[in-house]
Amino acid sequence: MEKRAWTMNGKMLAVDKQVIMALLDNDKIASRIFITGEVHEDYIGEAANRTLININDVYYTNGLTQEPLFINTMDNTVRMTRFDPNFVWLCFHPEILVDLATEEAKRLGVKMDVWMMDHFDFYESMIAALKAEKGEFIIPIVQKGGDVNTYYNAVYLSCLLLFGKSNFLDIHISKHFSDQSAEAQLKYAKYRTLNVVEQKEVINLREKYGMLQFLTNPELNFIVSLYEKNK
């Protein structure tokens, strides 16, 4: 089975390339959406959000498709209905890609050399950078008494760090990290290294379920157990 990029969403159209290139030439702020496929309106501003939504008229008025490329969500984000970083990132110059990726890394407070991204997916490269800096077997620390949202964000990030699976509770990764609470928690996260017993269990679970695309119950149960004693 071919591995999909974490941020992939739908199948791109040939005409999308022209739209992407035109937007890159005219609105660098709105173009931040091309790194992950979804951004919060507070990050790009109302004007850029409006620019993205209005671009859909290009498709409608020219009879290209009735399917919009950009939509607003109830979480105050704008999302690309079709997003494949393998397609999108090849539409513009590498230096522009690096500039946009640098802004995204700054937003999330992650130290990474964006010139050295190994994946056609920003978040995969981000997780690789975190593990390279802090270790292979790490999870974010949650202080005792943290609220439900804090534990959710920690579990989601742990699924990425330990098992490379981005579908906890069927929440798309671009939606997760466009959420401002997830952004803030990642930006100020502290991490702990799993003990030897915990590391052996991670290795065992990776061997059993690593080839599966979706998170399994044993993987999720293990991660949840790492936080149970904090509650």
Band (1; pLDDT cuts 50, 70, 90): very low
pLDDT of residue 230: 64
As a whole number, mean pLDDT of residues 16-35 equals 95
Give me the pLDDT at residue 4, please.
82
pLDDT of residue 143: 87
- Give the model confidence (pLDDT) of 141-170 as tens digits: 998 878 899 999 999 999 999 999 998 999
Top-confidence residue, 1 or 128 = 128
Span 103-116, pLDDT tens digits? 999 999 999 999 88
- Proportion of the chain above pLDDT 90, given as a percent: 88
Q: What is the pLDDT of residue 2?
A: 55
Per-residue pLDDT band at 173 (split at 50, 70, 90): very high
Please state the rounded mean pLDDT for residues 109-136: 94
> CA 31, 32, 34, 36: dihedral to nearest 10 degrees?
-160
Residue 176 pLDDT: 97
Res. 179: pLDDT tops 90: yes
- With a threshold of 0.85, does the pTM exceed it? yes
Average confidence score pLDDT of the chain: 94
pLDDT given for residue 231 in this prediction: 57
Task: Give the pLDDT confidence of 216-229 residue by residue, as tens digits.
Answer: 999 999 999 999 86
